Structure 1
Amino acid sequence: MTRSPVKLAAPQRVRTYLALFALALILPVLAVSFIGLNRMAAIEQSQIERRVMQIAQNLRFVVDRELDRALVTLETLATSSELRTGNMSAFHRQAVLALKPTKAAIVLIDTSYRQLVDTLKDFGAELPPTSDPVTAQRVIDTGKPQISNLFRGSVNGLPVFNVEVPVFDDEKRVRYVLIMSFQAAYVAEVLTEVRLDPSWLAGVTDSKGIVLARSQQQDEYVGKPLPPELFEQTKNAEQVYPATNIAGDRILRATVRSERAPWFVSATVPLSHTQEPYYRGLFFVALLAAMALVLGGSLAYLFARLMARPLDAATQAAASVGRGEDVNTVQTSLVEANVLIETLATASKELNERAQHSDFLMRELVHRAKNQLAVVKGMALQTARESATVNEFIDQFDRRILGLAQSQDLLLRQNWRGAWLHDLVRAHLEPFGAGSRADISGPDLFLDTTAVQNIGFALHELATNASKYGVLSTDAGRVVIVWRQVEEGGIRLSWSESDGPPSHMEREGFGHRVITELVPRALNSSSILDFTPRGIRWEILIPAGHVAR
């Protein structure tokens, strides 16, 4: 046989089940909140990545724009008539006027890398060879503009880079290399045109992985190489990627290549900044969970107390029922407990009434048993006096005991409260087969136990006499039993025989004494017995006190 899972679990208190119920309500909400938080964090992460890439592209635009301006200026100066005629003094003045950035200089070198003009020096001053012959040689070899990596200038000794264009002679050969040399700090200033949050960082790295410009702490990091791992990520990155910057901080970085120079323009944001919304949401979910658990536990405890008191009252009521005490109906805060207590109160009342009735029945049974023994004793003595032999005694005594039993059966059916008069008459006629030869009529009346026993005695004796000597000893005889209410409130019951032999009953016999003396005396009443040629006629007045209903 399978057992219920509920029965397998150890019994728990109400507050435990309420706490589990609260937890069952809270956990799905927290799970949905956590899933929603992760989804929102993923969306926000994607938005941050798009923003980082967009900023990197904006930074590349402003850097390339400045490089384009420098190229346009140089290409314009390369067509100068003073430069074609070799008037270097006039070209020096023209170059100084062409300079707009304060952190730049214009330099003119020949194909042997010798500086002819440098706006950082007065014209005619002694000038050292160029510090970046590699880029100049590329211009000479390709005949196209070139932009250098970071190096230190030969005149000012600062970190600089060059924008270089060729100057052709009449035969389209490179005669000079015209250079605009920028301090690296100039690019750092250009980067500030793109407005960034304080935690964000913009940077430019040359093709060798050297930091050329930085939107923050430019002087501290310019000229320093990127960590090898970061430089590899910079060269190969196509999307936003997590990394560790030169300062050792975890970052989210986007890198794009400049369209004018062999540089990498990057935008970075601290990884902690990108994860801050997630952790903030996680903290909020944790706080929500803690508050929900505390609130759910508190409410479960409160409701458990509110439920425990009515249940305790119901338990006390049940204990009172067990002790046989009356249960008083009380109103609690729990409807089910009120119904249970009210039911227990009703049950207690009914049980007490049944117990009292049982006590009454026991006392009545003892009393009736004594009476019955007395009646049986009297019946035995009277029957013995009338009987000539033992067999005759047994026969008469057995019939009278049977008649007494008929009345007892009727009383037992009605819990010893009495019996219906109609049932009583039928019960004492049927053993003699007189049911179909008797006319029985009268209103529905309920007699008490005394009337049932005594009227039953009389009916039994009358039926016995009629079967032996009277109308029931022949096929034609009939019996008419009628009762009616009289003015005094009592009942007048009559027994009339017809179409039978002449009346006969021993006047000194037990049956005669029963219907004329014993029964009227027991009912505190009177009776009439007539002997007619047609049969016996007997009539008795049953007082109203013996009529229960």
Structure 2
Amino acid sequence: MPRRSARSHLLGLIAAAVIPVWLFAAYLLVQYAVHERSRFEQEARQTARQVSLVVEGELANLQTTLNGLSKSPALANGDLEAFRGEALSLVEGTDRIIVLRDLGRNQLLNTERGYGADLPPVEPMPAGDLEKLRASGNFVSDVFASKDSKNYRIAVAIRVPAPTGEDLVLSISVPTARIRNVMMPAVPEAWTVGIGDSNGNYVARSSSHEEMTGNPGLPEYLEKIVGRSGSFTSRNFEGITLLAGYYRSSYSNWFYTANVPLSEVQAPLWRSLAAICGIGLLALLVSIALGYVVGKRFTGATTDLAARAEALGQGRTVEPMSTTVTEFGAIAQALVDAERAIAERRYELETVLETVPAAVWFTYDPKALQVIRNRFAAELMGLPTDVRKSFGSPDLVINTVAVKDGHTVSREDRPLSRAMRGELTDNEEFAYTLPSGIERFLLSSARPIRGPGGNIIGAVQISLDITDRKRGEEHRKLLVNELNHRVKNTLSVVQAIASQTIRNATTLPEAGRILSSRLISLAKAHDILTQKNWSGADLDDLITASIKPHVPIERFQISGEKVWLPPNVALSCALALHELTTNAIKYGALSNANGRVSISWKLVGQQRRLELEWRETGGPTVGPIERKGFGTQLLERIFDSDSGGRVVLTFERSGLVCVFRVNLSEPNEAEAHFPSRET
């Protein structure tokens, strides 16, 4: 098949495209003209309809006024003087007139005349209005001239029952200027809206109202207003051809017309025609010029451009082009193939690297020392990610220490290196130590990348950061061990208390009561420690919690600096305070109404040694103690010498004095030592 230059093809394409484009433009222009004409006709009808709604609403308001007035008791009783006063209150300060008449020519009331004045006869009602009044009870009049002025008015009337005899007619009239003012907000700019009565006389007009109101419209215009709604073209009084839309109201039998000069409708069409012709001619000239210039350049560039497109697809350097080629087919195919090969690989890998919520490494280095990493991988390795490198630019791996199952793993045995050897790895956990000293735990999988022939050309590794999960597991193990330790200590304490309570009790009910009291005290201490996450307890809070359930706090004098007790020391102090309180209630200062207890403490020395004194006064006289009970034994052994603690009990005649000391600075200083089970 013979081939032609690109310039020849371009010129032929332009010539072949111009005629269809112009024909299509002509078709669009015709369709546009039809559409615009239809749009203006619809807009004219809609405008006429909207104006009718506004005006008919005003007429309905006038009828509503009459309906309300017709319910007057004064009218029903025939009291026209009182009824006139009510009517005057409705029209006072306005241009409205209310008239009450019979079906003949007699006026019974007119708000423009005083009560009792002679009222002139009026024109008899037209037969059509009278028939409508009898049928529907209301009607809207045609435009009429006021006898006392040159103004034209319209009226709304309703039928009302007379106190005696034939029904009466109650009407309210307004100047036609009022109708014009009501409709003006609904009149679009550049449009003329007219309202005509049932006889074809103008009621109101948006322009030249004073000249046109009360006058008949053009016969050729009026004869086209047929039916409820429609549109037509006609000349006006000035001889201008108009596009008109009309609507006839069933309520008032008036017609409403919206008019716009036909030239306004056709103006966009002529402007569009001129613009299309001008743009088409200009486009033809520009296209021919561009076709000639571009075709001439393409003719000398096709072969060279095709060679460079092939080089681009193969990844070789593309030199600047200075020659011309004539083959459009070679250009298009070479460019499409090259762009497709590059775009598919680039978009695929860039999307994966930047959106996958995991660290990804690619390598095409047999030793896996050169890697391409995504943003997540760079963040995990502590590398900067503010500068985006182009895809395909490899970096050297960083020096990390990898550990798996407690053994250090060399770089050759890591997932990416193994994948380069064809191995598949799935969900292997590694602990990596970065050069910064940060340790990260990764869950890694790796796969080889194979070429079209099945040979390995690279590898990819995907890793999930499970550092938080591993640390969470370690933290949970630590918490479980700590919980086991505290539970064992608590059970030892409960075992010792239960054993000694039962051993020293005289009856089983007494043992149960004493054991329950001591366990409740222990539980309250546990509550305080639990509120502080077992970090310790405030001594003042602990004292209050230990004594308040047994005796009013007002019988105690408590003083001392703020001291924070370790958990085990807090439990020991709670038990000691419980024993002292119950002993004071039974035998000491709290056994009568006058005794008091003083509790004071202080910290001594750099070792932060706590010294707490319990002193009772005002109770029964204390005598020599012949035998120590379990409570006394418990107090003396709550802090033993091994933990640096000591309890001293002094039975003075004024009351018991108990002093116990414990070193708070040693790690195990607060361990409570209870009597072990004896065999």
**Which bracket does the TM-score occupy, shorter chain normalised?**
0.3 to 0.5
Larger Rg: 1
TM-score normalised by length of structure 1:
0.48
Give the alignment's TM-score, normalised by structure 2. 0.39
Higher normalized helix content (fraction of residues): 1
Which of structures 1 and 2 has the larger relative contact order (alpha carbons within 8 angstroms, sep 6+)? Answer: 1
